[in-house]
Amino acid sequence: MTSKPELVVFDMDGVLVDVHSSWAWVHEHFGTNNEDSLKAFMDGKIDDLDFMKKDIKLWKRTNRYISRDDIVEILKDVPLIDGFQNCIPVLSERYETAIISGGLKPLAEYIGKSYFDMIMANDLKEKNGRLTGEGILEVELKNKGKAFDRLLSEMNFEEKETVAIGNSHIDAPMLKKAGTGIAFNPADKKVKEASDIIIEEKDLSLLLDFL
Ligand SMILES: [Mg+2]
């Protein structure tokens, strides 16, 4: 640890929950998939909001009356990562804690509202009890460092006072900025290169050895 941490920031998908993507979880439920739009997004042909719009459109095609609560119900079955219950209540007593996720805010709120002081994730716009088809962008997938900067300024912390935990290259910018970056359950080489500590084993309670 470079200095005593005060704020611990978590990615969600692959770190707090045992799925690679909460968006993909909902697609699996509906029997849809977002491979085409994912590719278009990765190739820079569409932006975050268009990407979300395309995803939601596929869900609405199977049920045009779908609500945000319906999505919450689907997401309630997402498994927590091993060790969540041993680790997160303890850390949320010791530190300020936050989630920064490009995943679905309804899931982040469902698993995190009792523990985390702040949650930044991407949400679904609703009107009159139905999804409108638009997303609400809080975390740009290719720019997590920007969300991290905003979180720090809103919560009034400096980078050196933070620990950030992530599992993929998408998290690399925030892991580099954080006082201490931890690659947990790492999915690729980039996330490891961006980190000071690497935890290969998918057990969140191992964090307690460091925090
Ligand atoms: Mg992740």
pLDDT, tens digit, for every residue of 70-121?
A: 999 999 999 999 999 999 999 999 999 999 999 999 999 999 999 999 999 9
Q: What is the pLDDT of residue 150?
A: 98
pTM exceeds 0.85 for this model = yes
Distance 22 CA to ligand 1 centre (A): 9
Distance 155 CA to ligand 1 centre (A): 22
Distance 166 CA to ligand 1 centre (A): 6
Distance 43 CA to ligand 1 centre (A): 19
Q: What is the pLDDT of residue 3?
A: 60
Distance 101 CA to ligand 1 centre (A): 7
| Mean pLDDT of all residues in 112-138 | 97
Sheet holding 130-136, edge to edge: 130-136, 118-127, 96-104, 7-10, 162-166, 180-184, 197-199
Distance 128 CA to ligand 1 centre (A): 32
pLDDT interval class at 54 (50, 70, 90): very high
| Mean pLDDT of all residues in 28-54 | 94
Distance 170 CA to ligand 1 centre (A): 7
Distance 61 CA to ligand 1 centre (A): 27
Tokens 């990615």 locate to: 11
Q: What is the pLDDT of residue 1?
A: 52
Distance 103 CA to ligand 1 centre (A): 8
pLDDT, tens digit, for every residue of 146-163?
A: 999 999 999 999 999 999
Distance 176 CA to ligand 1 centre (A): 15
The domain 7-209 is placed in CATH, from the list 1.10.1740.110, 3.50.50.60, 2.60.120.480, 3.40.50.1000, at 3.40.50.1000
Domain layout of the chain by residue ranges:
7-209
Distance 157 CA to ligand 1 centre (A): 23
Distance 15 CA to ligand 1 centre (A): 6
